[in-house]
Amino acid sequence: MATEFDAVLIGAGHNTLAAALHLSAKGWRVGVFEQAAVAGGAVKTGEYTLPGFRHDWAAMNLSLFAGSPFFKAYGAELSRHGCEFVPVSRPFSSSFPDGKWAGVSTDMAETLAAIRALSPRDAETWSGLVSRFEEEAPHLFGLLGAEMKLRAVASFAFRTWRAKGAGRTLDFARFLLSSPRAWLEETFEHPHVRALLAAWGMHLDFAPDVAGGAMFPYLEGMAGQAFGMVIGKGGADTIVKALVAAITARGGVVETGASVTRILHDGRRASGIELADGRRITARRAVIAGVAPRALHRLTGDTTPAFDRAMDGFRHAPGTMMIHLATDALPQWRAGEALQRHGYVHIAPSLDQMARTYAQAQAGLLPDEPILVVGQPTVFDPSRAPEGKHVLWVQVRMAPGTITGDAKGQITATDWARAAEPFAERALDILETHAPGIRSHILARRIVTPLELEADNPNLIGGDQVCGSHHIAQNFAFRPARGHADGSTPIANLHLTGAAVWPGAGTGAGAGFLLARKLAGN
């Protein structure tokens, strides 16, 4: 294998793979080196329970990827290499302890009927939000896709002011700074409708009372109504397999089982990497590290005191436990069989409960009532399981990476090796309450603790699936640190990418594509 490339990339997550493909398309010779046995990072699929049952390891929702500028540019090429999506017309719903439910469908009448059953006023409010979404979307997506440079931010602010005027621009800024609770309580009257949307904030580390989180419940609600959701045909790894094949077809190299131990540099400029097996790989133009910020310092040694402090102090969100279930039937939801037709079913009963769960996990406690995200991918993609069988993808949020105790006072273990089973049983007890009899339909299960997620992918520190909190102090121009939202470092030719870099987490490949376009000049 060649030991010299134009660009050497550390890690084969979807951001680094997207960067590698774009650079390859611009004529760069790229080499990607991944420590794990399989490319993809948090986006991979495997038979983790029984043969024939394909489970998404961490990420399941590929909507951001399918709708991204990167896929717009390379979708046709990736499709030729086998990338295939399955549309989900009923993207999400919530099941509540009182036996009621709410959900969003791309069929507006269906969504309004579900909300109207709870609150006619909220159904009217929803209709108004949807009708204005086309007007608001360019501003929000423009912000989330913008480079965090002074000129780009100033241009965005000017365009927004020109389109909205001074008063509405200030209202827009207030919305961006609002917590989910503040916006939801101002907007909707029924607590179930508020909880339906607030559950999305928890996906990105925005508990109900965290400032700056209002946009995520809003965007997920509106996008779910307008576009639904997208999952990968046969598994989320469809995008990873296609990316690797496309890079290879263009002459690039993607090597797995290749752990990087050091980034080579002279203090001023990066020149390559050193692998655990002793090989040195030279990078003529760029070294791109798809690693968590804390790992960068270990690979480079000291750079500048301010940058090293920022990387070492990068804050991570609470962790997640995954429970993969192989079943012989879908859950029999107490709230009604309509829930069997939704991609996600959230079990997150109220804003107060979500806030309590988040605070407990932040304190290192196993939450007394964790939030569950129950994915039902085989409803839309039967190829993931044998005929008549199903897989359930259960995210248990939140879960502390380091356990200090149990909020319920029942689990005495403070290490995940012993706490995993009783905490998983707590989660399954909650699922059983909402879907009676589900345990009798489980054929096999696989519990993945926060520490196992990190061991598999060191970027998921403490099981943090979003690779770093998105709170205001660590988002936008401050992700991962002021002056480095473009992935730059104090060492020339060394760049950071991944979910820790603006525009952050999700499967949109924004960080990798923005960086590659900057390096290639377009």
Of 380, 454, 374, 412, which is closest to residue 84 (Cα–Cα)?
380
Q: What is the pLDDT of residue 475?
A: 93
Question: How many alpha carbons fall within 13 Å on the CB side of residue 20?
Answer: 37
474 secondary structure, DSSP code: G
Domains of the chain by residue range? 4-86+235-314+467-520, 107-224, 315-456
What does the block give as tokens for 246? 């496309």
Which long-range contacts does 300-308 make (Cβ < 8 Å, 24+ apart)? 300/263, 300/265, 300/489, 300/491, 300/494, 303/489, 303/490, 303/491, 304/490, 307/481, 307/484, 307/489, 307/490
The tokens of 51 are what?
A: 């043969």
Torsion of CA 157, 160, 165, 168, to 10 degrees: -100
Instruction: Determine the pLDDT at residue 152.
Output: 63
H and E: helices and strands count for the chain? 16, 20
Task: Name the CATH code of domain 315-456 (choices 3.90.320, 3.40.190, 3.90.660, 2.30.30).
Answer: 3.90.660
**Residues 256, 37 contacting (CB under 8 angstroms):** yes
Neighbours of 41 (CB within 10 A): 28
Give residue 155's pLDDT. Answer: 67
Q: What is the pLDDT of residue 77?
A: 98
Helix, strand, or coil (residue 392): strand
| Two tokens, residue 322 | 């995954």
The pLDDT, as a whole number, for residue 138 is 83
DSSP state of 367: P
- Residue pLDDT tens, the chain, 522 long: 568 999 999 999 999 999 999 999 999 999 999 999 999 999 999 999 999 999 999 999 999 999 999 999 999 999 999 999 999 999 999 999 999 999 999 999 999 999 999 999 999 999 999 999 988 888 787 777 778 776 666 666 667 767 778 887 888 889 999 999 999 999 999 999 999 999 999 998 999 999 999 999 999 999 999 999 999 999 999 999 999 999 999 999 999 999 999 999 999 999 999 999 999 999 999 999 999 999 999 999 999 999 999 999 999 999 999 999 999 999 999 999 999 999 999 999 999 999 999 999 999 999 999 999 999 999 999 999 999 999 999 999 999 999 999 999 999 999 999 999 999 999 999 999 999 999 999 999 999 999 999 999 999 999 999 999 999 999 999 999 999 999 999 999 999 999 999 999 999 999 999 999 999 999
Residue 325: its H or E element: strand 319-327
**Rounded distance between C-alpha atoms, residue 71 and residue 74, angstroms:** 5
Q: Do domains 4-86+235-314+467-520 and 315-456 have the same CATH topology?
A: no
The answer to whether the CB of 242 falls within 8 A of the CB of 17 is no
The answer to whether the CB of 85 falls within 8 A of the CB of 66 is yes
Q: How far apart are CA 33 and CA 16, in angstroms?
A: 10
How confident is the model at residue 380, as a pLDDT? 98
342 SS3 class? coil
Q: List CB contacts of 347: < 8 A, sequence separation 6 or more.
A: 94, 95, 371, 372, 373, 374, 430, 431, 434
CA atoms within 13 A on the CB side of 386: 9
- CA neighbor of 279 nearest in space, from 303, 252, 255: 255
Q: What is the DSSP string of 47-61?
A: -SSSTT--EESS---
What the block records as the tokens of 134 is 């086309």
CA distance 324 to 235: 13
Q: What is the CATH number of domain 4-86+235-314+467-520?
A: 3.50.50.60
CA angle 476, 148, 495 (to 5 degrees): 100
Give Cβ neighbours of residue 4 (< 8 Å, ≥ 6 apart).
281, 282, 283, 284
User: Cα(283)–Cα(264) distance, rounded to whole angstroms?
Assistant: 9
Helix (H) or strand (E) holding 263: strand 260-265
Please name the residue ranges forming H helices in 68-149: 69-80, 108-116, 120-144
Q: What is the token pair recorded at 418? A: 């012993």
Say how far apart CA 398 and CA 367 lie, in whole Å.
Answer: 7
